[in-house]
Amino acid sequence: MKIDPRCVHCLLSRVHYQAMLLTDDTDTINRAVMAGLDALHRTYRQGEPAARISTAVHRSAYRAMGDRDPYREKKKLSRRLAVELMPLARSLVGDEVSEEHFRRAVVAATIGNTLDFGVDGFDVNEQHFEAEFRRLFDGGLDVDDTGRLIHLLDDVVYIADNSGEVLLDTLVLEQIRGMGGKVTLVVRGAPMLNDATIEDVEIHGIEAQVDRVLTTGSNAIGVCLDEAPSELVEAFEGASLIISKGMANYETMSEYGYRPIAYLLRTKCQAVADDMGLDTDMLVAKLVEQ
Amino acid sequence: MKIDPRCVHCLLSRVHYQAMLLTDDTDTINRAVMAGLDALHRTYRQGEPAARISTAVHRSAYRAMGDRDPYREKKKLSRRLAVELMPLARSLVGDEVSEEHFRRAVVAATIGNTLDFGVDGFDVNEQHFEAEFRRLFDGGLDVDDTGRLIHLLDDVVYIADNSGEVLLDTLVLEQIRGMGGKVTLVVRGAPMLNDATIEDVEIHGIEAQVDRVLTTGSNAIGVCLDEAPSELVEAFEGASLIISKGMANYETMSEYGYRPIAYLLRTKCQAVADDMGLDTDMLVAKLVEQ
């Protein structure tokens, strides 16, 4: 996906937001914003891949803040919320393995993609998240290609998105493995925003539920192939299906042409929704085969 | 008022918003955003007056769009809303002239400052504006220095803010003139955002309700003294009271030190609210004498 003019202010709004998460020191906040502004000014060109620019912006801002992890507390909160939600999510999905249960697991995991912070107008409302989860589950998927995924699950590479959310992803991983499929789970190589890293896999004990865990090899937004370990590139090339979770992974994976690939996400911003030909606030499980 | 780090993304969000008002041509929108980004990158420094930066950003964006007036239709809408509101506003203020009626007129005019577009999360909801007006009028001013203004009304310079809003300002001007005071009304020298210009004065026939109309001499955000006609500078120096309406005028007039000055505004953003030591969404009539 290419950068959209509306990404400009959104990116700088996220830089400001994450600086405020880290500190109330005006100088540090200002340094982060100026570094983000500088990187954006240096890299922003129409037609440029969105994630190349957002990676440059966030890395500059992180460096200006001393490379600390401003989302640390937000990630803890997301993990806690996810743990609290799991009994409800599991009861809604059910224990059996079938096409219908797979679909329900995808719905639950895709709702998990709303466990996000810092996207304009899309912060988690802790108090009402369980009720919101039920409401979204009842509404189901707005784009539902799950029926076409069923026969592609032999050897799946599953690219996780956010902390917390990755726990809900395990409902889908269980279905895939229950049907005899292999799963390679991919998380970010180092902290970036509230993205899931190997720390999340360890905290939730997810290693035991997959065949292999790989990382993207860096803290780039989404997946940057230039920075990815060769095992990951080989896994993409050999997969029966890549499942890409969330908007940042969509932004990058949509640039590479791997097929078949399924995008599971909530369309949280207009730029991504437009690029997918969809509306905002949709729950999406979209397969791209050609 | 000095620039705040959070102004960075807000300014670029306004640039994008106004480009979208003007056109759906992606190239033009992109040119405007890039011009705004470039100007912001060139001018943004901690400690710099906010309006100096926002003027540079908006002028660059306007130039990139061919200097058209993207808020033209929004201004027409604001004027229509203001005309529709006037009977209600007038009935709430009443016909007499007194300290209490002056206070009510200030409340109505300050609510008029909510007739604004393009400020993040603060767009006018046309359908419910009359009900909102009543609700805000009943709530009254959160900062009310109107009692201290009464003895300062001999020779008032009144700096208008937005289209539409300026019609509600006439309720205050009537009170001042009813008490025997003189009024110099100041509007923007050329179109900028949805600010009132001489066109608004003419459309509503406001010349007849004041002693003199001056302009700021340019399309600078707020009042830029370097670009102001000498009559305006003399009027500021000779005034018994300057009344400065809205946030942009606050941002600039708070840099100059004219006293006494009264700020009538709704605190629509955190940066201005912080600078005034207030909360957001307050209705404010604040006198600064020292």
Cβ atoms A255, A285 nearer than 8 A: no
Alpha helices for A94-227 (secondary structure H): 99-112, 129-139, 146-149, 165-178, 198-204
Closest by CA to B38, choosing from B11, B17, B20, is B11
Q: What is the pLDDT of residues A68-97, one digit of tens each?
A: 899 999 999 889 989 989 999 999 999 999
Chain A interface includes B16 (CB < 8 A): yes
- CB contact (8 A) between residue B41 and residue A38: yes
**A229 exposed, middle or buried (CB, 10 Å; 0-12, 13-18, 19+)?**
middle
How far is residue B264's CA from residue B98's CA, in Å, rounded to a whole number?
19
Question: Strand pairing of B283-288 and B261-266?
Answer: antiparallel
Cβ-based contacts of A27 with chain B (< 8 Å): 46
CB contact under 8 A, A12 and B9: yes
Nearest residue to B220 (alpha-carbon basis) of B251, B183, B184, B258: B251
A34 vs B contacts (CB less than 8 Å): 44, 46
Tokens in use for A71? 């989302």
From residue A78, alpha-carbon distances to A72, A82, A283 in Å are 10, 6, 19
Nearest to B244 by CA among B135, B123, B145: B145
**Is B105 in contact with B258 (CB distance < 8 Å)?**
no
B16–A26: do the CB atoms touch at under 8 Å?
no
Q: What is the homologous superfamily of the domain A7-65 according to CATH? A: Uncharacterised protein PF01937, DUF89, domain 1 (1.10.8.380)
A40 interfacial to chain B (CB closer than 8 Å):
yes
Residue B287 tokens read as 């006198």
Write down the pLDDT at residue A124: 57
Contacts of A190 (CB under 8 A, 6+ apart): A197, A218, A219
Tell if the CB–CB gap between A8 and B26 is shorter than 8 Å: no
- Residue pair A126/A81 in contact (Cβ under 8 Å)? The answer is yes
Residues in B touching A37 (Cβ below 8 Å): 8, 37, 40-41, 44
Domain ranges of chain A: 7-65, 72-288
A41·B37 Cβ contact <8 A: yes
Which residue numbers in chain B have pLDDT < 70?
116-127
Helix or strand or coil: residue B154? coil
B2/A contact by beta carbon, under 8 A = no
Nearest one of A100, A25, A87, A12 to A56, comparing CA atoms: A12
Q: Chain B closest CA to A41's CA: distance in Å?
A: 7
pTM above 0.90, yes or no: yes
State which residues of chain A have pLDDT below 50.
Answer: 118-122
Nearest-by-CA chain B residue for A4: B30
The answer for B 45-104 residues in CB contact with A (under 8 A) is: 46
Is A44–B29 a contact, with Cβ atoms under 8 angstroms apart?
no
- Taking an 8 Å cut-off on Cβ atoms, the answer to whether A44 and B26 are in contact is no
Specify the CATH superfamily of domain A72-288.
Uncharacterised protein PF01937, DUF89, domain 3 (3.40.50.10880)
